[in-house]
Chains A and B, each alone.
Chain A
Amino acid sequence: MSAVLLIAIPILAAFISIIVKKWSPYMLLFVSFGLVILLGYLPFEIITIGGFSAPYGISLVVDNYSYTALYVVNVLFFLVAIINVCNYKKLGTILLVSLAGLNGLMLTGDLFNLFVFLEISGISAYIITTTNKKPLATFNYLVAGTVGSILYLLGLIILYNMFGTLNMQDMAVRIAASGATDIEVALPFLLMFIGIGVEAKLLPFNSWVKGILGHSNKLTGPMIAGVYAAASLFVFGRLLTEVFVISDTFMLIISVILAFSILAGEAMAYSSTKVREILLFSSIAQAGIAVLIFVSGFTGYAVLFISLNGFSKVVLFLIINHATEVVGSDEVIDLKGLFVNNKLVGASFTATVLSLLGLPLFAGFFVKMGILSQLFSSGDYVFPAIILLSSVVEGVYFVKLLTKLWYKEDNLPQVKFELPLVYLVVVISLLLVVFGLYFEPLHEQALVLVNHVKGVIL
């Protein structure tokens, strides 16, 4: 089977589903489940569309990197869809289109095609966030996202003027062959970096995040903070490893931006009293860490980090947003003692948070350990210091949050969790523990990815 189907089937289903609106939720479930199954039969290849080979036609790239990314995004998407499909029946078609857009982002090997899919997934994200019932926040998201993609396109067009191609690999080859120094590609690179940075929630460009995730519901929270965040970070990784090679001059600018993003994110999370805000600020910091690992060149670990982070964020946002919808407030005070009557959900939440922190026995530990040891062995001490510092701050506010949520008092919030949600969060958190104990398979996958990327890079 061809990877084009991962994009064509959801689009076809979306086009058909507007005639038979009632079926659209079922089509969504069927298609997103089917794609997860189809992924198992995906051969590694470069797919030519329209019979015109790269760099002239558009090509889709299925390699280790995009394969892992596709798996993570599709599985997460399916899980979020299955939990929410009954409550948001009207959004079936939109979600199908966004699935096609996300798959396209992971697959495409063409820079302009990437822009098109960025817009498909972006516009469907704007529509999904209208379910927050905060039109002004959605409007701000739309403006920020559009400006971001315009800057990306500006950078891309400047690159096209300079090197005359749109294909990623061809671009990398031509940049290397022309002997252009990093100063000469600095402008398009920074414009594209900012453009995708908007979607990936890097700090100076993410004014939209608070309005969207701070009022998110059970659909938008996991979708934007989990699925979309993972997808945009994977796109970042694709560009940073296949098109651009970061050299010292860039490194300084970018590490300042990233360090700012990480530390400020953690600081804001520390000072916030709302659970959703704590989660969203910590995910800003985590996005910064992921990009930091990409620019240091440890692609395999970055992929693992993003994947674990995506799953964890889905669990955390599902639990908190469900509780918030019932209680009507996301202040920590109002949710105090939430887990006393929901021990199973509470245990999953705790396990996920501990994995996110990188404590031993959880999957996050090995990823963080691997990253730190790699960074240390490459003789870099600034990045590990930033990561360690952020972990400490993270530890403090998450432990504070956990103790409050487990705190036993007289006036407990009455929250019931539905069975599917409970199953889902328990299974994911169990997996985090299991992979924490048996880390070898993940580790091997990471090494495969590292080797793969070394082969492709200039």
Chain B
Amino acid sequence: MKNFLSLVLVLALGGMIILSLQNNQYFTAYGEVDITKRVSESYIDRDVNGGTQAVEFGVANNLESGPANIVTAIVADYRSFDTLGEVTVLFVSSLGVALLLASGKQKRLDLHFHPNFMLRVGSRALFGIILMTGIFVIVHGHLTPGGGFPGGTMIASSILLLYLADDNFRTKVKSFKTLESIAGSLYVIIGLVGLFAFDYFLVNFLDNGILGELFSAGIVPIVYALIGLKVGSEISGIIDNFLTEEVA
């Protein structure tokens, strides 16, 4: 009975949403978007503050926002405040996981499994490759797809690999906490420097350089590196919390 009622409710809600989207003259259908009617156009043209310079790859110098990756320009520059909030969400949920699961002295969860020589060496080698990929993705976040969040997750996944390949392995959680705290604080402090020295919180106060070069986009690569470190250490902390148990 309850299942049937839920089914009716869900069908009604879904049908209502689809029908009202279909019959709405203001709702643009899939693929027929006109970007000029949205705020995004200015993120592409970089003319929020009235810039008139043509945005050309490898030529345009010191635009109002420097990343060649437009999504990065939005995430780490135009709407950087959202990203600070996002980092805080991840921070508070990793704290919550630690509060729930890591009370008292912890030991590794017994996986009933002993790694042989090949697995140990192979996982160590893979660890290095994954870590390097993660760092590459973070460093090139303003030029290519990726950035702090995917890169940080890659770093955490390399830690996860070590955890899964060896059931005696544990990282130093304490040092991860320190790293997380320093990276997060620096992010806020960069924002506060912007506020006190340049009037706006989280303003991009360094030179933006030439669009598309590795050393460009002002504070964006710095912020993304901090985010990458923070996300990596937070998710590694969560992994550690889930793969350990309290010493009885």
Contacts and interface: CB of A to CB of B under 8 A. Distances in A.
B24 interface: yes
Interface in A63-99: 90-91, 93-94, 97-98
B78 to A, nearest CB: 5
A130 interface: yes
Interface string B1-42: 000000000000000110011001111100001000111101
Determine the main DSSP class of A at the interface with B.
helix
Contacts of A167: 39
Contacts of B28: 161-162
Contact of A162 (B27, B185, B192): B27
B48 A130 contact: no
Nearest to B16: A187
Contacts of A161: 27-28, 33
Contacts of B20: 186-187
B86 interface: yes
A113 B204 contact: no
A53 interface: yes
B48 A57 contact: yes
B223 to A, nearest CB: 11
A161 B203 CA distance: 28
Contacts, number: 157
Contacts of A124: 92, 96
Interface residues of B, number: 56
B77 A50 contact: yes
A25 interface: no
Contacts of B155: none
Contact of B27 (A50, A119, A158): A158
A124 B95 CA distance: 10
B26 A163 contact: yes
Interface stretch (A7-15, A277-285, A387-395, A404-412): A7-15
Contacts of A58: 79, 81-82
A120 B92 contact: yes
Contact of B81 (A49, A123, A165): A49
A164 interface: yes
B80 to A, nearest CB: 5
Given A52-B48, A116-B85, A123 B203 contact: no
A4 B201 contact: yes
Contact of A116 (B26, B64, B89): B89
Given A16-B181, A94-B96, A162 B26 contact: yes
Contact of A19 (B42, B178, B198, B202): B178
A187 B81 contact: no
A423 interface: no
B88 A97 contact: yes
Contacts of B16: 187
Nearest to A130: B100
A165 B17 CA distance: 21
Contact of A164 (B37, B191, B192): B37
A127 B98 CA distance: 11
B136 interface: no
A123 B178 CA distance: 22
A98 B93 CA distance: 12
B27 A127 contact: no
A93 B95 contact: yes
Which of B42, B88, B188, B191 is packed against the most chain A CB atoms within 10 Å? B88
B129 interface: no
Given A18-B181, A116-B89, A127-B95, A50 B84 contact: no
Which of B26, B38, B191 is packed against the most chain A CB atoms within 10 Å? B26
A271 interface: no
B177 interface: yes
Contact of A90 (B77, B89, B99): B99
Contacts of A112: 79, 82
A56 B42 CA distance: 8
B200 interface: yes
B52 interface: no
A418 interface: no
Interface string A24-58: 00000000000000000000000111111101111
Contacts of B192: 8, 12
Nearest to A116: B85
Contacts of A16: 181, 185
Chain A to chain B: the 10 pairs with minimum beta-carbon distance, closest first = A164-B38, A15-B184, A116-B85, A127-B96, A51-B200, A162-B26, A56-B48, A4-B201, A12-B188, A51-B203
Given A90-B99, A158-B27, A178-B26, 20 more contacts: A5-B195, A12-B185, A12-B188, A19-B178, A50-B203, A51-B200, A53-B49, A56-B39, A56-B78, A94-B92, A94-B96, A94-B99, A98-B92, A113-B79, A116-B85, A120-B85, A127-B96, A164-B38, A165-B39, A187-B20
25 contacts: A8-B191, A11-B184, A11-B188, A18-B180, A50-B78, A50-B194, A52-B48, A52-B64, A52-B77, A52-B78, A90-B99, A94-B95, A97-B91, A113-B79, A113-B81, A113-B82, A116-B89, A123-B92, A123-B93, A123-B96, A127-B96, A127-B99, A165-B38, A166-B39, A184-B24
